[in-house]
Structure 1
Amino acid sequence: MSAPLSAPQPIDAALANEAATRGAVTHKAVQNTRLGIWLMIATTLVFAAQDGISRHLGSAYPVTMVVMVRFWFFALFVMALAARSEGGLRAAARSHFPWVQLARGLILVAEIAVMVLAFVKLGLIEAHAVFACYPLLVAALSGPILGEKVGWRRWTAILVGALGVLIILQPGFGVFSPWSLVALLAAAMFAVYGLLTRYVARKDSASVSFFWTGVVAAVAVTPFGLMHWTWMTPADWGWMAVLCCTAVLGHWLLIKAFAVAEASAIQPFAYLQLVWASAIGLVLFGESLRINVAIGAGIVVAAGVFTLWRQRLREKAALRAA
């Protein structure tokens, strides 16, 4: 799949892309870019709220336990979807790339745990600022992983984005936080997850990838979550329920956005999650916005939008050639 430009959530963009393809084939007349933009903005708001809740719960309880409960709900959700689909659970579990699907699930659950840890240790603002570089990592790694050609313009954007990350991290200065590297690790893991999802999408349907993502991640994290089980307060169980429900709502909004508008037209708006998450960090968690973080994040986002623009030009050229 082409990884959606959103935050580290268990989003299977292959599912969104499949929905978009169906919409393009059967409902060309209902393509609505304006609606798609608003749906993407709503998606970023929901996921930013989810990140705030994850930061709250991850500060009070073991991260592995929070991620475990979240993926239990997610696994039940994808299994219920599969059971109601043609072929049932057996069809959803039938993959042409079982080992790659296994790797996807493991990488995703590890990435989410790492990113929640970054939220707790680094804060929403700086964690998201660093993570914003992941689309550039997708572009850089698409060559060695998928064999795609990356032109000099995109390589230039990748290098500019790397400069932005360095401005955020400020290596060699006293204010440098090693936890920034945790957010950078999460970005790299999510980039690999996205590229592997694009790889399996060559033969596996989106519903198969969605099923494997939820089930593998839930199974993988359960031993670690149970090892650190801690009973939550009733109020925090309520926040956990909201966290699980926002994940489903966010997925639904994202899929609807891709179904009514071209991905290349609405993906840049996914960067708004950085804005919403920063606002939550400032208002609710008392975080501060350092000038180097604001400048670096701006450079990273600009480089990412440029790569999206170049990708859109390539897609249009390919359609004309076809």
Structure 2
Amino acid sequence: MSGPPSSRPLRGIFWMAVTGLNFVAVTAIVKHVGDAVPAAQAAFLRYVLGLVFLLPMIRPILAARLSRRQLKLFGWRGLSHTLAVILWFYAMTRIPIAEVTAMNYLNPIYVTLGAALFMGEKLPLRRWIAVLIALAGAMIILRPGIREVDMGHIAMLGTAAFFAIGYRLAKQLSGEVSAAVIVGMLSVTVTIGLAPFAYAVWVPPTIAQLGWLFLVACFATAGHYAMTLAFAAAPLTVTQPVTFLQLVWAVLLGWLAFGEAVDGWVILGGALIMASVSFITWREALARRSVTPALPATKS
């Protein structure tokens, strides 16, 4: 019998650090492939090649007997994730790895804004301040008027927004179906959603490019699995700040492997965004504790 998640913070921190390394490996490989393969096609091939990891999820999906409403929600989630993935692959060919990583932290901020603006959730003043600080961090990264804002930066703003929509839909479905069904249906719907976009820009890929994109699928799958282990070992208030290490590794990787300059403004902006996300996560955890009495968590 093991203790509750909060009693295993070091394990949670370790697995979240491993998560970050896997996701940074994903960005490095996509950056290496570059625009030799169009963004939509590269994203499609990554998902097609990753379908091998879907095999254990086929039985839970078939057994779930999804309703028409659930299928519709999965379809909308697949569409939002499809657009997010295309924009992310495109951004990777346009702007430095560190900037992609830093701007990706905006996802939880968009989730919070969406909940307030479109779902009627009331946000206290302190949370609005945290959102504004995160948006200020994004402006520090972009610095419009001081430097040219690339289309890659615009793509990353869209990426975070579409991922936020997908997150809200996944959260809605999480109380109805298992995690295996949610992950499996995402792979299926995104693969289908990417197909027409990939067909429109298709170029014959080389064996080497297919190998690199299969590695993307492997590292992405490993990253999601490590993240699951981190969430099981420790609460978000412990694991969330560790994700900032991804920015540190992204800066080092961009500098050492791709000759990208180390931009202190990007690090500052990313730190502000990450601090805001950590504060929002911490406040949500406190709110849950105040609403729901703590139960003894025992796992055998």
Using the size of structure 1 for normalisation, the TM-score is 0.83
Change (3 A) 1:29 1:295: closer
2:46 aligned partner = 70
C-alpha contact 1:82 1:92 (8 A) present in aligned 2: no
Out of 31, 34, 53, the position equivalent to 1:58 is 34
Query: One-letter code of the match for 2:107?
Result: Y
1:21 aligned partner = none
Out of 73, 78, 85, the position equivalent to 1:105 is 78
- Distance in 1 (CA, whole Å) between partners of 2:245 and 2:120 is 30
Out of 255, 258, 276, the position equivalent to 1:282 is 255
2:66 aligned partner = 94
Change (3 A) 1:211 1:147: farther
Change (3 A) 1:65 1:93: farther
1:312 aligned partner = 285
C-alpha contact 2:58 2:184 (8 A) present in aligned 1: no
- Correspondences of 1:55-204 after superposition (within 5 Å): 55-78=31-54, 80-85=55-60, 89-92=61-64, 94-95=66-67, 96-204=69-177
C-alpha contact 2:40 2:89 (8 A) present in aligned 1: no
Deviations 1:26-77, CA, capped at 9 Å, x for gaps: 8545752211110110010011101111122232211111111111133442
* Residue ranges of structure 2 left out of the alignment (5+ in a row): 296-300
2:298 aligned partner = none
C-alpha contact 1:146 1:199 (8 A) present in aligned 2: no
Shift in Å, 1:93: 5.7
1:253 aligned partner = 226
C-alpha contact 2:110 2:164 (8 A) present in aligned 1: yes
- Distance in 1 (CA, whole Å) between partners of 2:264 and 2:19 is 27
- Distance in 1 (CA, whole Å) between partners of 2:37 and 2:183 is 28
Q: Secondary structure at the match of 1:121?
A: coil
C-alpha contact 2:49 2:214 (8 A) present in aligned 1: no
- Distance in 2 (CA, whole Å) between partners of 1:27 and 1:109 is 39
- Distance in 2 (CA, whole Å) between partners of 1:174 and 1:250 is 34
Shift in Å, 1:145: 4.4
C-alpha contact 1:40 1:253 (8 A) present in aligned 2: yes
2:266 aligned partner = 293
Shift in Å, 1:219: 0.8
Change (3 A) 1:38 1:136: same
2:178 aligned partner = 205
- Distance in 2 (CA, whole Å) between partners of 1:269 and 1:146 is 29
Using the size of structure 2 for normalisation, the TM-score is 0.89
Deviations 1:61-107, CA, capped at 9 Å, x for gaps: 111111111111334422x122354xxx4224614522121010111
C-alpha contact 1:72 1:218 (8 A) present in aligned 2: yes
- Distance in 1 (CA, whole Å) between partners of 2:116 and 2:206 is 48
Larger deviation, residues 96-105 vs 172-181: 172-181
Cα RMSD for the two superposed structures: 2.2
Larger deviation, residues 139-148 vs 283-292: 139-148
Query: One-letter code of the match for 2:246?
Result: Q
Change (3 A) 1:99 1:83: closer
- Distance in 2 (CA, whole Å) between partners of 1:170 and 1:274 is 18
Shift in Å, 1:318: 2.1
1:6 aligned partner = none
